[in-house]
Structure 1
Amino acid sequence: MGDFVKYQALGNDYLLVDPRGGSTALGTEPTPEAVRLLCDRHHGVGADGLLLGPLEEPRPGTATPLRIFNADGSECGMSGNGLRMFALHLAARYVEEWRTGTPFTLRMPGGDAEVRITDITGGRVCVDMGRARFTGQGTGDGGPASTVVPLAGAGPGDGVTVTDLHLGVPHTVVFSEAIDGELVRRLGPALAWHPRHPQGTNVEFVRVHDDRTLDIAVWERAAGSVPASGGGACAAAAAAHAHGLTGPDVTVRMPGGETDVSVAPDGRISSTGTAQEVMTGVLSRSLLEELAQRGTVLKPSGRRGT
């Protein structure tokens, strides 16, 4: 194994740095500057985020810890696609029985998530994302609320009707009869960093195709427009089901591809989709030196990239 492994899930890509199996260690507290450099598509390797782990030896019956970082260096509480990639990494390199459908648990600072590999060859993984917690006005019973957000340039009345929820990270769902790139670029950043969300929120633009199918486009607070998001798909499905627009099982179609989402009677949300290992890479000495200058200590590997 080299200094990192790169994975993608429907075009949503992450770098995985394995401090146990790799030749380069970020440590358990990488600086935001170091993460930003690695994820930078012009000056670093390039990715939507970074997976750091396993932080302890993976073993059956014990939750395996990891940390997830956004491309802007901030820590991420949950990533459906990221967990799929990490699950495949663990099964391929550490615990053989996880390749055949045995459930196992991944532990993040924000909580645990159970994962199950349903097709190791096709990279298909089911992730339990937990329960959605709806926020906003009029949610005394814990159900969804529609809030009109004043937003200059949004259109008639200059307001956007949204549903806010928390599913590991904050999400804002916007239902629309039509979705296009111009809408996402215009409203995405304005909603993601609206004053009502000082820490930012991920925004999902959703068109209900029928009671079993959703079309969505995602603007992430840290990465901008992305071709797919596992957490975004789950947030969209949770909001649509809570509003009575779909049944409990839906296919979510995104520019990067499809994922299946189920809402259980107890409210727990699971998503099943694919991930793929793209490459194993070696960092150049000059990049290692720059990372060290940005506040992280990396161990140089025996071989160096050019």
Structure 2
Amino acid sequence: MKYQALGNDYLIVDPSRAGGTVLGPEPPPEAVRLLCDRHYGAGADGLLLGPLERPEPGTPVPLRIFNADGSECGMSGNGLRMFALYLAEHHIEAWRTGTPFTVRTRGGDTDVRITDFREGRVRLGMGRPRFASAESSEGKESDRDSGVAVPVAGEGPDAVVTVTDLHLGVPHTVVFRDRVDGELAQRLGPALAWHPRCPEGTNVEFVRVHDNRTLEVVVWERAVGPVPASGSGACAAAAVAHARGLVGGDVRVRMPGGEVDVSVARDGRISLTGTTQEVMRGVLSPSLREELADRGTGSQPSGRSGT
């Protein structure tokens, strides 16, 4: 099955169903890359492997998340919303009516509630962001208020970029600019995402403050590149803007693929609300299944972590 959230699309492979999955319990990176390839496979930004056990009310539902490059990641706000809708549609009918449940990923547990099943609207509790720290002349302080100057291979305003680093399931780097667009992301995204200071990579959010309730965001993900939207990226942008006093606790985040709502509570916890949609259901051809099964031999991880 394939779902999309604001243009960010994932394949869902459900090993809990009878017959299991051709990917096996440990999907080889080569197999994931083939399945997500838009020319030779089914095509997607990533893969959701789950539920790993048959879902039961009151028990966290285990999920593994992979990006199109074959790397595994700990958190995806868009992916979790898609998975939540899938669970309500195909496993636990009570979850369609707003009964809360929990999804367990490598990045931790996420509280989930479907607020409108027909519209595909899902609310996630994303937890508290962990801001990075930077050395300053006055000692160690959080970089969320002032940011850190990072030299990159550019000229003029691109020679040194002020960024704010934080972790929200996966690492994020937020950059504020008076104007954000795809050209800016293409120019600075790769240099910041794989800067020497970030050996495991980081997802980059370019942010413009429209007003105290609205942000415009363009995202460059470390394992994918430009994406139309990112749920965790929207939360990272809102968290930094709120910490700097640029926006209030309720923020509308506009991205090329659409909008999500982010709320920052007094204790710093962040919640994300947005829509998702099932795109298609299908069966892989015997030839593709055979090739996927063969991809495990001699394959190596990409070495880059996911979004």
Structure 1 partner of 2:223: 222
- Residue 134 of structure 1 contacts residue 165 of structure 1 at CA under 8 Å; is this kept in 2? yes
2:57 to 48, 60, 63: 60
Counterpart Cα distance in 2 of 1:156 and 1:141:
25
User: 5 Å matches for 1:128-207?
Assistant: 128-138=125-135, 140=140, 142=142, 144=144, 145-156=146-157, 158-207=159-208
1:7 to 3, 8, 17: 3
Counterpart Cα distance in 2 of 1:249 and 1:102:
23
Q: CA distance change for structure 1 residues 127 and 140 in 2, over 3 Å: closer, same or farther?
A: farther
- Residue 260 of structure 1 contacts residue 271 of structure 1 at CA under 8 Å; is this kept in 2? yes
Counterpart Cα distance in 1 of 2:267 and 2:143:
13
Cα RMSD over matched residues? 1.5
> What TM-score results when the alignment is normalised by the length of structure 1?
0.92
Q: Which amino acid aligns with 1:288?
A: R
Structure 2 partner of 1:51: 48
> What TM-score results when the alignment is normalised by the length of structure 2?
0.92
Structure 1 partner of 2:82: 85
Displacement over 6 Å in runs of 4+: none
1:143 deviates by: 6.2
**SS of the residue aligned with 1:281?**
coil
Unaligned runs of 5+ in 1: 297-306
1:45 deviates by: 0.9
In the alignment, structure 1 residue 27 sits paired with structure 2 residue 24: yes
Q: CA distance change for structure 1 residues 224 and 284 in 2, over 3 Å: closer, same or farther?
A: same
- Residue 154 of structure 1 contacts residue 160 of structure 1 at CA under 8 Å; is this kept in 2? no
Q: Which amino acid aligns with 1:107?
A: R
Structure 2 partner of 1:231: 232
1:221 deviates by: 0.4
Q: Which amino acid aligns with 2:27?
A: P
1:28 deviates by: 2.3
Q: CA distance change for structure 1 residues 228 and 73 in 2, over 3 Å: closer, same or farther?
A: same
- Residue 143 of structure 2 contacts residue 164 of structure 2 at CA under 8 Å; is this kept in 1? no
For residues 175-204 of structure 1, give each alpha carbon's deviation from its aligned partner in whole angstroms, at most 9, with x where no partner exists: 000012211101011110111111110000
For residues 192-240 of structure 1, give each alpha carbon's deviation from its aligned partner in whole angstroms, at most 9, with x where no partner exists: 0111111110000000000000000000001100000000000000010
Q: CA distance change for structure 1 residues 22 and 269 in 2, over 3 Å: closer, same or farther?
A: farther
1:284 deviates by: 1.3
| Aligned pairs, number | 292
**SS of the residue aligned with 1:239?**
helix
Q: Which amino acid aligns with 1:124?
A: R
Q: Which amino acid aligns with 2:48?
A: L
Structure 2 partner of 1:286: 287
User: 5 Å matches for 1:225-304?
Assistant: 225-295=226-296
Structure 2 partner of 1:107: 104
Counterpart Cα distance in 1 of 2:90 and 2:102:
16
- Residue 260 of structure 2 contacts residue 272 of structure 2 at CA under 8 Å; is this kept in 1? yes
Q: Which amino acid aligns with 2:3?
A: Y
Counterpart Cα distance in 1 of 2:267 and 2:8:
29
Q: CA distance change for structure 1 residues 262 and 254 in 2, over 3 Å: closer, same or farther?
A: same
- Residue 209 of structure 1 contacts residue 215 of structure 1 at CA under 8 Å; is this kept in 2? yes
1:23 deviates by: 5.2
Counterpart Cα distance in 2 of 1:180 and 1:233:
15
Unaligned runs of 5+ in 2: 298-307
Counterpart Cα distance in 2 of 1:135 and 1:213:
24
Counterpart Cα distance in 1 of 2:158 and 2:96:
53
- Residue 154 of structure 1 contacts residue 187 of structure 1 at CA under 8 Å; is this kept in 2? no
Counterpart Cα distance in 2 of 1:157 and 1:12:
28
Q: Which amino acid aligns with 1:291?
A: L
- Residue 216 of structure 2 contacts residue 254 of structure 2 at CA under 8 Å; is this kept in 1? yes
- Residue 134 of structure 2 contacts residue 143 of structure 2 at CA under 8 Å; is this kept in 1? no
**SS of the residue aligned with 1:137?**
strand
Q: Which amino acid aligns with 1:177?
A: D
Q: CA distance change for structure 1 residues 154 and 114 in 2, over 3 Å: closer, same or farther?
A: farther
Q: Which amino acid aligns with 1:18?
A: D
- Aligned-pair identity in percent equals 72
- Residue 17 of structure 1 contacts residue 24 of structure 1 at CA under 8 Å; is this kept in 2? no
